[in-house]
Amino acid sequence: MSERKTGVYLCSGCGIGESVQVGALEGVAKSEYKLEAKTHACLCGDEGVGMIKADIEAGTNQVVVAACSARVMTDRFGFEPIQVVRADLREKVIWSHPAGDEDTQALAEDHVRMALTQASKIKAPEPWTEGEFSQTIMVLGGGVTGLSAALQAAGLGHDVLLVERADQLGGHARTASKRLPHTPPYDKPEANDIGVLLDAVAANPKITVRLNALVTRTAGMPGKFAVTFADGTIEDVGAIIVATGWRPYDATKLGHLGYGASPDVVTNTDMEKMLAAGQLARKSDGKAPKSIAFVQCAGSRDADHLPYCSSICCQTSLKQALEVLETDPTANIFVIYEEMRTPGVAEELYRQAQSKGVIFIKGKVKAVGADLTVTVADELVQQDVPLAGLDMVVLATGMVPNSTNPDQAMVEYGAEQLNGDVDPEAPIAVAGYCGEAPAAHEKRVQSVPEGGPLLNLQYRQGPHLPVLHDGFADSHYICFPYETRRTGIYTAGPVRRPMDWAEAAEDAAGAVLKAVQAVRSAAAGAALHPRVGDLSFPKINLNACTKCRRCTVECPFGAIDEDEKEYPNVNPTRCRRCGTCMGACPVRTISFDNYSVEMLSSMIKAVKVPDEFSGKPRILIMACENDAVPALDQAGIKRNSWSSHVRVVPVRCLGSVSLLNISDALSAGYDGVMLMGCKPGDDYQCHFVKGSAMAAERLSKVGETLKSMMLEPERVVQAEASIADSDRLPKVIDGFVETIMKVGFNPFKGF
C-alpha cells in the first residue's frame, strides 16, 4: 500500500453541532493523531460529499467520516476503492444522550478516537480473484422446481447443467392428474401443464440435461466447484441449486390407519396416479369406489412421525375430491380433518368442495379397520364416531424432503470418496455449539439415515448439506431463506419446505437470483450475504499456526479445509467474512485486511478510561453489526437513552471476538464487558449461524481469566439482542451498569 493519507471529516448537522463541541473533536484528531479534520454542516449533502471527493482527487486514500451511523448514507459516503471508516456521532451519541453534557462530549470524543485508531490498523482489502471462474449454474433435480430454476438461470444468460438421477425429467408432476389452481378464480383443479416446462427446457440451447446422473463428489468453492459424476466425468460449475424435491411419508409406518391391512387404504400419491391414469378403482375388486374418506394429517403433525404440517395436503385432498366428483357426481366424499388449512386463494377450492357436497368431519382418526370402518374422535359431538360402508380410504401423507439420495446407501461411498484427507471422527481440541463439541453438533444436524449425500461435499465438516431436525435444509428462514451453510449452494422447492407447484416455481426464481449473485460475486472476489460486497478474506500466518484445527471446525460455512500437512487451507469464495475463525484462533494468527484482533483491541484501548476517583465507570459493549447495532441505532432514532459510560465497538459477529479482546479491555481499566448479539441455539437468529453460540462457549472459559486477574465474574456477560429490541436494550445496558457499580471499579484502572 502507498503512504497512508487519511482525511477526517466531521458533520455538525442533525443536531451534532448543538449537542457537542465539534471543535474539540477536531482537536482530538489533531493533537492525538496528527490529522487535520474538516467540519461541514451537512456532510452528506452535495457540497460536503464534493469536499471529500476533491480531497481524494488530491491524494487522500483513506477517509474517516464522523457523522451518522455506518448503516445509513452508505451511498453518499461510499468512495470506492477508497477505504471509509465511520464514527457514529448521531444515533449512538447525541440522539441517545443529553446535549451539552460533559459525559456526552467524552462519548463523542471516544467515538472519534476509536474510528481514527481503526483507520490506522486496517487497509483497503485486495480481492482474491485467482484463476478462472465458472459462470455455469448446476441445478440438481428435474422436477417442477428444477425445471423452473434451469429456465430462470438460462434466461439470465447463464449456462445451466440440469442433473436428474432418474431416466426422465418431470418428477412427481409427470404422474400427477391435475394441479392445484394457480390462476383466477382459483376454485377448481387445473390441467397438468408440466409438458410446457419440459418442452421449454428441451428447446433452450443454454440448458444441458444429464439423466441417470449421480453426483459422487463435489469439491471446490463458488466459481470453482468441480462436480464428479458416477461415470467419472467432471463438470466445472459456479454455483449449485439443490431442487431434489420430496418423497411421500412411508405409509407402512401408519398401521393404525389401516395401510397394509386393506388394499383399499391408499395414499394421496397412489390416488393421484389412479386419477392421472383415469382408472379410479378399488385394488381389492377393481370396482369404482362410490364412498371415499380422505384422512388428513396421516402421520403429519405427529411427534411419532412427521412433527410438521406439509402445507398442501389439505388442498391436495380437496383437489382429488373434486376430480372424483367431476367423474361421478353421485359419489360420497368425506374429508376428516383436525384443522383445514387452505391459506390465501386456496380458500376458494375449499368453498368449491363445500358447494359440491363434500362432507367435512372435524376430528382425529383413531383407527381404520380392515373393513374400512374409520373411527373418528369427533370434536363436535365429543365422542368416537364410526364411519362405515366406505369403499376406499385415502391417507393424506406428508412431504418428506429429499435431503439425501434415498436409494443410495451411505456405505456405497468409500471413505476416501467421502472425505479422504480428513477423519470426521477425529477428536477436536475445542468445545463448540451450545455445549456440544462442534464435530458432534455437525454430525447430529447432518444425520440423515435414509441415504447417501446428494453432493458428497469434500468439506471438513462432512459430505452432507447441514439439515434441520426435520430434514429440511438448514437456513435462516427470515433473512436469507435460500441459503444453506455451504456458500454458493442453494436449496429451492419442497426440499426447503413443503410447497405446491406455483410456490416451487417462485422459490426457484429466488434461488436462481442468489446463485447468479454467487457466481458473479465470486469472480469479483466479493462476499455474499450478509456482508455483501466485502472484498476481504481471512489470511493465516502459517508460521505461527499450531494446527489446533479450531478454525477449520468452528467455521459455520466450511470455508476452511486442511492441507496434506494439516495446516488450514482457506477457500476464499466459500467465506462469508464473519471472522469466527479469527475469534477461534488461540494464537491470533488469522486476520483480515480490514478486520483483526489487533484492530479491535486497539480501538478498545483508544478510549479514555477515567480513574477510580472520577466516579465514572467505563463499560465496553462489543455489539454484532447485524442485530445489536441496528437495534441501538433504532433506539437512538426513537430518542431512547442509555448510560453515557458505555462504549460500543461494532463487530462482524460475536464469533469473531477473541478472549484476548476481553482481557485487553479489563487490563485497560474497563469495569465491565458485555457481548451483545443474536440468539443462539437450534432456533438461532444469528446471521452467521454459530457466532453467538461460539461466543457463549468462549465466555464459559473466561472465568479462568477473571480468576487469574482477581476480578469478579459479574464483570463479563453476554446479552441477547434482536433488531427489534430498540426499547429493551437500553434497559439491559443500564441494568448492567448498575451491577458494575455495585461490584465496584476495576482495580486495574491507572495501570
Report helix, strand or coil for 291.
strand
pLDDT tens, position by position, 720-750: 999 899 999 999 999 999 999 999 999 887 6
> Would you list the domain boundaries of the chain?
1-124, 137-245+402-524, 251-399, 596-751
Neighbours of 244 (CB within 10 A): 31
Q: In 238-278, where do the E strands start and end?
A: 239-242, 246-248, 265-267
Average pLDDT score over the chain: 90
How much is the average pLDDT of 100-117? 98
> Is pLDDT above 80 for 626?
yes
Phi/psi for 433 (5° steps) reads -80, 115
Share of the chain above pLDDT 90, in %: 80
User: Do the domains 251-399 and 596-751 sit in the same CATH topology, yes or no?
Assistant: no
- Distance of alpha carbon 667 from alpha carbon 749, whole angstroms: 8
- Distance of alpha carbon 191 from alpha carbon 112, whole angstroms: 66
Report helix, strand or coil for 333.
strand
Q: Of the candidates 490, 346, 388, 435, which has an alpha carbon nearest to the alpha carbon of residue 698? A: 435
How high is the pLDDT of residue 430? 28
Q: Of the candidates 142, 200, 201, which has an alpha carbon nearest to the alpha carbon of residue 170? A: 142
295 grid coordinates: 384422512
How high is the pLDDT of residue 424? 33
Q: In 497-654, where do the E strands start and end?
A: 539-540, 560-562, 568-570, 590-591, 619-624, 646-651
Q: If one looks up domain 1-124 in CATH, what number appears?
A: 3.40.50
668 grid coordinates: 485497560
Contact in structure between 659 and 703 (CB atoms under 8 Å)? no
- For every residue of 541-558, DSSP letters joined together read -TTT-----HHHHH-TT-
Contact in structure between 631 and 706 (CB atoms under 8 Å)? no
- Distance of alpha carbon 58 from alpha carbon 80, whole angstroms: 15
pLDDT confidence band for 461 (50 / 70 / 90)? confident
Superfamily of segment(s) 251-399: FAD/NAD(P)-binding domain (3.50.50.60)
- Distance of alpha carbon 724 from alpha carbon 109, whole angstroms: 28
**596-751: which CATH topology?**
Rossmann fold (3.40.50)
- Distance of alpha carbon 684 from alpha carbon 691, whole angstroms: 10
Torsion of CA 462, 464, 470, 474, to 10 degrees: 90
* Angle in degrees, CA 714, 691, 112, rounded to 5: 70
How much is the average pLDDT of 697-709? 82
CA 552 to chain centre: 19
Q: 0.85 exceeded by the pTM?
A: yes
Torsion of CA 66, 69, 73, 77, to 10 degrees: 30
Report helix, strand or coil for 655.
helix
Q: Cell numbers 376458494 correspond to what residue? A: 348
- Distance of alpha carbon 714 from alpha carbon 733, whole angstroms: 14
pLDDT tens, position by position, 258-296: 999 999 999 999 999 999 999 899 999 999 999 999 999
Element (H or E) spanning 140, and its range?
strand 137-140
Q: Of the candidates 436, 684, 705, which has an alpha carbon nearest to the alpha carbon of residue 554? A: 436
How much is the average pLDDT of 603-619? 93
pLDDT confidence band for 641 (50 / 70 / 90)? very high
Q: CA of 710: how far to CAs of 208, 470, 610, 714, in Å?
A: 67, 47, 21, 12
- Cross-strand partners of 217: 228
How high is the pLDDT of residue 168? 97
Contact in structure between 264 and 282 (CB atoms under 8 Å)? yes
- Distance of alpha carbon 517 from alpha carbon 148, whole angstroms: 18
**Which DSSP category does 135 fall into?**
-
Domain 137-245+402-524, architecture per CATH: 3-Layer(bba) Sandwich (3.50)
- Distance of alpha carbon 664 from alpha carbon 662, whole angstroms: 5
Q: Of the candidates 157, 20, 34, which has an alpha carbon nearest to the alpha carbon of residue 89? A: 20
Element (H or E) spanning 82, and its range?
none
241 grid coordinates: 441449486
Max mean pLDDT among 417-431, 472-486, 547-561 falls in: 547-561
* Angle in degrees, CA 461, 464, 470, rounded to 5: 115
Contact in structure between 222 and 134 (CB atoms under 8 Å)? no
Q: Of the candidates 675, 701, 672, which has an alpha carbon nearest to the alpha carbon of residue 686? A: 675
pLDDT tens, position by position, 303-362: 999 999 999 999 999 999 999 999 999 999 999 999 999 988 999 999 999 999 999 999
pLDDT tens, position by position, 9-61: 999 999 999 999 999 999 999 999 999 999 999 999 999 999 999 999 999 99
Contact in structure between 517 and 135 (CB atoms under 8 Å)? no
How high is the pLDDT of residue 750? 67
β-strands 383-387, 374-378: how paired?
A: antiparallel
- Distance of alpha carbon 218 from alpha carbon 220, whole angstroms: 7
Is residue 647 packed enough to be buried (19+ CB in 10 Å), middle (13-18) or exposed (0-12)? buried
Longest dimension (CA), the chain: 97
- Distance of alpha carbon 606 from alpha carbon 603, whole angstroms: 5
- Distance of alpha carbon 420 from alpha carbon 503, whole angstroms: 39
Give the strands of the sheet with 207-210, arranged side by side: 207-210, 160-163, 137-140, 239-242, 489-491
- Cross-strand partners of 676: 623, 719
Element (H or E) spanning 231, and its range?
none
**Which DSSP category does 595 fall into?**
B
**Which DSSP category does 306 fall into?**
B
- Cross-strand partners of 616: none
**Which DSSP category does 92 fall into?**
I
Give 3-state DSSP helix, strand, coil % of the chain, rounded to 5: 35, 20, 45
